[in-house]
Homo-oligomer: A and B are copies of this chain.
Amino acid sequence: MNKISAAHLQVGSAGVVEKQFHTFAEPPHELTLESGARLGPITIAYETWGQLSEKRDNVIMVMHAFSGDSHAAGFYEEDGVEAKPGWWDSMIGPGKGLDTDTYFVICANILGGCMGSTGPSSVNPATGSPYGLDFPMMTIGDIIETQKALLEHLGISTLHAVIGGSVGGMQVLEWCVRYPEMIRSAIPLATTMRHSALAIAFNEVARQAIMADPRWNRGNYYGAEPPDLGLAVARMIGHVTYLSDEAMRRKFGRRLQNKTNVSYGFDVDFMVESYLRYQGSKFVKRFDANSLLYITKASDYFDLVERQAPARSIQDICGEATKFLVISYSSDWLYPTYQAKELVQALKRANLDVSFCEIEADCGHDAFLIPDARLGKLVGGFLDGVPRN
């Protein structure tokens, strides 16, 4: 602790956190995935904040978005003065929207990811080498099953709330469809109940950018040079969709990067070009290209309206006790407000208790990740109103 400055403590008020791991589905008890494929053993990396109550009834599960991880708040002690708080530090901590004085908050890295949970970069026990494309395709439903296994391991059978944005919001909804009796309340943010053609299109272009990189080598690049150039392009595509026209006008406009005139060449001229190249090059240091392929595909498959039986659809949670708070952002064009309203209508048709809020923000889809006191107040107030039993 003495290596952490006061400023870090102020921000990372959720405190020091350690990544933990739970391994299950050991052969011959592998998990059967939605596709029918079997997978095991499975390790899920997770972190927790706050104290689990004696009745184990104060649990909030936070689900991360596509490129997130279990490190949602606080800091790692080993990072010392370099410590950066988790990705939703503004929301998790004493007195924050997810108040760790009251709640026990859990965040797990998703199945298929590359931040400690089993994914395509993990070692396939059948071969002793990383799975690569031998990793079975997983769905948002499969992610939920691994999170449920983690909760069983922790002895938790009720969730005060499930909350998450974007792909995390899909997980929130899938939780409610699969295990409504476990869920007191659900807060899907900046998300959709079915992935649109536009969202599929952007994901497909990102996948093609990776697959076009010869270093991708059909997913078999572990131990060799990874497909960084393709992955960087994929990330740049993502970043354009996370912002909005307004945000980009405000943030970058047509301002030049360290220049008084254009270069008449292909080096960076505009700030927005520099921003995208930087985001691309930063991402390749921390993310696995195959994980991007699997997670985007799982999102594309996500559709709570039209499901192949026996999977449950959104109307199958009709009349359950789960209370919903649906949140959208006014400038999010990846999962626009009209899709949040479609979700609200579907939940109302299923006789569920739904509140809806569109937050005015010009920063596009990314808005849910940007510290904003309005979100903390909205979520905190909603959670206070959810009965504890």
A residues with CB within 8 A of B = 35, 37, 133, 136-137, 194-198, 200-202, 204-205, 207-209, 211-214, 229-230, 232-233, 236-237, 240, 243, 245, 248-249, 251-254, 261-262, 264-266, 269-270, 272-273, 276-277, 280, 293, 297, 300-301, 303, 306, 308, 333, 336
Q: Which residue of B lies closest to A273 (CB)?
A: B204
A201-B240, A248-B198 are known contacts. Are A208 and B280 too (CB-CB below 8 A)? yes
Top 4 A-B residue pairs of the complex, sorted by shortest distance between their CB atoms:
A197-B248, A212-B229, A137-B264, A35-B264
How many angstroms between the C-alpha atoms of A53 and B264 in the bound complex? 40
**Chain B residues positioned under 8 Å from A207 (CB to CB):** 266
Judge whether A236 and B205 touch: CB under 8 Å: yes
Chain A at the B interface: SS class: helix
Q: How many copies does the complex hold?
A: 2
**Chain B residues positioned under 8 Å from A137 (CB to CB):** 264-265
How many angstroms between the C-alpha atoms of A232 and B198 in the bound complex? 18
Judge whether A254 and B205 touch: CB under 8 Å: no
**Chain B residues positioned under 8 Å from A293 (CB to CB):** 266
Judge whether A237 and B205 touch: CB under 8 Å: yes
Of B35, B136, B194, B208, the residue contacting A233 (CB under 8 A) is B208
A254-B195, A261-B308, A333-B333 are known contacts. Are A300 and B269 too (CB-CB below 8 A)? yes
How many angstroms between the C-alpha atoms of A266 and B298 in the bound complex? 11
Q: Which residue of B lies closest to A37 (CB)?
A: B264
Q: Which residue of B lies closest to A239 (CB)?
A: B201
Besides the known contacts A201-B273, A207-B266, 14 further A-B residue pairs in the complex with CB atoms under 8 A apart: A37-B264, A136-B264, A195-B254, A197-B252, A197-B254, A198-B245, A200-B254, A201-B243, A201-B248, A201-B276, A208-B276, A208-B277, A209-B212, A269-B301
Q: Which residue of B lies closest to A204 (CB)?
A: B273
**Chain B residues positioned under 8 Å from A261 (CB to CB):** 308
Judge whether B202 and A245 touch: CB under 8 Å: no
**Chain B residues positioned under 8 Å from A303 (CB to CB):** 254
**Chain B residues positioned under 8 Å from A201 (CB to CB):** 240, 243, 248, 272-273, 276
Q: Which residue of B lies closest to A209 (CB)?
A: B233
How many angstroms between the C-alpha atoms of A128 and B328 in the bound complex? 58
**Chain B residues positioned under 8 Å from A300 (CB to CB):** 269-270
Minimal beta-carbon separation of A123 from chain B (angstroms): 21
